[in-house]
Amino acid sequence: MDKSVVRAWVLLAALTVTGLALDLATKHWADASIACGEQIRLVGSMLSLVLVHNRGAVFGMNPQKWFPGFPVNVFFAVFTVIAVGVILVYYHRVALRDRLVQWGLILVLPGALGNLFDRVVRPAKGVVDFIMIDLNVWPADPWPVFNFADMYVTFGVACMLASLVRDEWRRHQAAATATAAPSPGPQAGASQDPSAGT
């Protein structure tokens, strides 16, 4: 196997383990150290620690608000397992061709696994969220409470969207260049009017 491919998989494994460990460790700390309803201000009202047990999706979105009885944990557990499989297959195909996509997948994987762990191990509690940002400006007024796994997923998706925008811009530039290019003139030495010189 190509050494560059091996390095790409080692990078994925190392950062997945590191990111997952950081996510689980901070969740454990928050669950053990922050009381429900307590707000620990770090930077005024802009950045605080607030313990929330989220039984919904990312950033607290809960399908049960619209569909009572919806099996949230089961649905997102199955969805995450499928997503992890898709990530690994896609990573194998694009890791060496597109660095933005590579880093996007590297970030999304530990994020998905971190929240999956909570849903499987603590289904009654749900996902542990504890970081709150309040900038007094919509949509961060305040932003829904989140965790490190949510940050991984958000930045990972942003990387992949940036790759799509970049590729679309390149296609647009290539098409514009092709349209603006002058058409080739008559070749030197082309045959003249046969009646010329008679």
Q: What is the mean pLDDT of residues 130-135?
A: 94
- Residue 137 has what pLDDT? 86
Return the amino acid letter for 171: R
Q: Which of 4-8, 15-19, 65-69, 71-75 has the lowest mean pLDDT?
A: 65-69
| Catalytic residue selected from 129, 141, 167, 193 | 129
**Is 150 noted as a catalytic residue in this protein?**
yes
Q: For the whole model, what pTM was predicted?
A: 0.80
Question: pLDDT-based confidence at 105, cuts 50/70/90?
Answer: very high
SS (H, E, C) 51-75: EEEECCCHHHCCHHHCCCCCCHHHH
Find the DSSP H helices in the chain.
3-33, 72-94, 99-121, 148-180
Q: Which of 106, 113, 114, 80 is nearest to 9 (CA)?
A: 106
- pLDDT beyond 60 at 120: yes
- pLDDT beyond 80 at 60: no
Tokens encoding 39? 């707000």
- pLDDT beyond 80 at 68: no
Please confirm whether the linkage preceding 71 is cis (ω < 30° from 0). no
Q: What is the mean pLDDT of residues 178-182?
A: 76
**Is 167 noted as a catalytic residue in this protein?**
no
| Catalytic residue selected from 23, 98, 118, 150 | 150
Task: Provide CB contacts within 8 A for 108, sequence distance 6+.
Answer: 83, 87, 152, 153, 156, 157
> In terms of DSSP bridges, do strands 39-43 and 47-54 run parallel, antiparallel, or are they unpaired?
antiparallel
